[in-house]
């Protein structure tokens, strides 16, 4: 067999082996461009009402529906029309066949029943069985566990829940011949205390890191950016920045390939103190920015409202080079947010540092109806553009001739080629 062909087959085999070792599903499109779909955004008024019909499925590699609920320890729909929503989302695969649809449990308001269910072996067994049954019934591809947030006392049961879900998903896949259900989790800070990195790395396919809400108007006195890439919310050295938190998760034992950087498609804002001398980071404030005209939330505006108010209120926009993120202000209000430049910078940082991808919270807060004249979904399109850039060409110079490769490394017929690209360092053993 010609040497170049043997080497190619060897790389295919090694690629598949690495995927298996890492626990990644080879069918997942990489890098991840995950998208959370919030099932309550449908109830917003007018143009802000967001439904499956508003989604461009080419912009996401997976969509997670937030949230389902747990009723008598069973996975059940939350909204009256969730099952119809699942069907509509699954049908998006006709446009993007690689798209995966997940279902999220937990969240800020629905974590309590998740904790209660997890606290007993019987509760977990019921939940695991119902998850497999219902995810298959709804033709969904997996489960996302958003436990906000496990403390040190919860570490054992959180890890046990993930392990029992993963074991059951693998067993069901072997018995049925169907692709294994995917398992993900949303996490925040290591300092929350309830995370066992090694266990999570064994059980999870996707780890969504919520590197946002690091500052907000719950701290009334002064303004700060909620998701700085570097430094901290006030452009001072702090562990509350994207870079530090992502590296902490790597140090905890999570494979970079599984770690996804969270991108907020909304901003956190304040009302400024009258006559404030400064409008920059750490400026004096009196409380949360006025309630959003679209989401009804005080202290937070979706991206499309921010860009609209910037024009209407003639706001000043600053891109802070120290934190690599944007904010806008007038004499009365201030808001920190991720714009196209910020999103692009973070996405490229993710790629340059070898992480598995990004995800957005959430679809309904991008400008999906083109209020600002930037086109539909400008932030998601910025992610797509940043991840679509062709990789740099690398030339490998060998100081020794290629050795004869033993026949045993030729992959068996069961190994299918993948699109995964290996780092050149992984070729060293073959020279």
Question: Which residues are known catalytic residues?
Answer: 148
* CA 257/CA 27 separation, integer angstroms: 14
Q: Phi and psi for 383 in degrees, rounded to 5?
A: -60, -45
Torsion sign (Cα): 82, 88, 92, 94: positive
CA 259-262-266 angle, to 5 degrees, is: 175
CA 191-123-172 angle, to 5 degrees, is: 95
* CA 184/CA 204 separation, integer angstroms: 5
Residue that has been written with the tokens 């709804």 in this structure: 138
Half-sphere exposure (CA, 13 Å, Cβ side) for 318? 15
Half-sphere exposure (CA, 13 Å, Cβ side) for 321? 0
Q: Phi and psi for 208 in degrees, rounded to 5?
A: -90, 115
Query: For the chain, how big is the Rg over CA atoms in Å?
Result: 23
The per-residue DSSP string of 33-56 comes to EEEEEETTGGGS-GGG---GGG--
CA 147-150-156 angle, to 5 degrees, is: 110
Which residues in 80-118 are b (16+ Cβ under 10 Å) and which e? eebeebbeebbebeeebeebbbbbbbbbeebbebbbebb
């Amino acid at each position: 067999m010609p040497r170049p062909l043997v080497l190619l087959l060897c790389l295919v085999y090694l690629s598949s082996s690495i995927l298996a070792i890492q626990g990644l599903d080879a069918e997942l499109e990489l890098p991840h461009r995950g998208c959370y779909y919030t099932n309550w955004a449908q109830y917003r008024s007018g143009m802000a009402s967001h439904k499956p019909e508003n989604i461009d499925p080419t912009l996401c590699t997976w969509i997670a529906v937030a949230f389902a609920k747990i009723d008598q320890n069973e996975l059940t729909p939350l909204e009256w029309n969730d099952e119809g929503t699942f069907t509509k989302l699954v049908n998006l695969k006709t446009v993007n066949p690689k798209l995966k649809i997940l279902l999220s449990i937990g969240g800020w308001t629905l974590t309590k029943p998740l904790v209660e269910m997890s606290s007993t072996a019987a509760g977990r067994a019921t939940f695991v069985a119902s998850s497999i049954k219902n995810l298959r019934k709804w033709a969904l591809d997996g489960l996302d566990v958003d436990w906000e947030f496990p403390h040190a006392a919860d570490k054992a049961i959180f890890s046990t829940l993930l392990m029992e879900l993963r074991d059951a998903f693998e067993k069901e896949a072997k018995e049925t011949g169907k692709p294994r259900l995917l398992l993900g989790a949303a996490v925040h800070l290591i300092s929350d205390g309830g995370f066992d990195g090694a266990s999570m790395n064994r059980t999870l396919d996707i780890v969504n890191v919520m590197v946002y809400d690091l500052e907000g108007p719950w701290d009334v006195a002064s303004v700060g950016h909620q998701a700085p890439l570097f430094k901290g919310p006030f452009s001072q050295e702090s562990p509350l920045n994207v870079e530090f938190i992502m590296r902490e998760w790597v140090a905890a034992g999570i494979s970079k390939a599984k770690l996804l950087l969270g991108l907020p498609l909304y901003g956190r804002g304040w009302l400024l103190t009258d006559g404030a001398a400064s409008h920059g980071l750490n400026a004096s404030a009196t409380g949360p920015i006025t309630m959003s005209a679209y989401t009804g939330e005080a202290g937070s505006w979706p991206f499309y409202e921010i860009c609209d108010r910037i024009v209407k209120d003639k706001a000043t926009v600053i891109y802070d080079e120290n934190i690599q993120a944007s904010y806008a202000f007038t004499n009365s209000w201030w808001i920190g947010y991720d714009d196209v430049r910020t999103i692009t910078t973070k996405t490229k940082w993710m790629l340059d540092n070898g992480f598995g991808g990004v995800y957005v919270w959430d679809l309904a807060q991008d400008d999906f109806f083109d209020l600002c004249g930037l086109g539909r979904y400008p932030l998601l399109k910025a992610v797509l553009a940043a991840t679509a850039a062709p990789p740099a060409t690398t030339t490998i110079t060998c100081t020794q001739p290629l050795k004869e490769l033993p026949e045993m490394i030729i992959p068996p017929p069961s190994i299918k080629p993948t699109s995964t690209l290996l780092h050149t360092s992984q070729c060293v053993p073959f020279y």
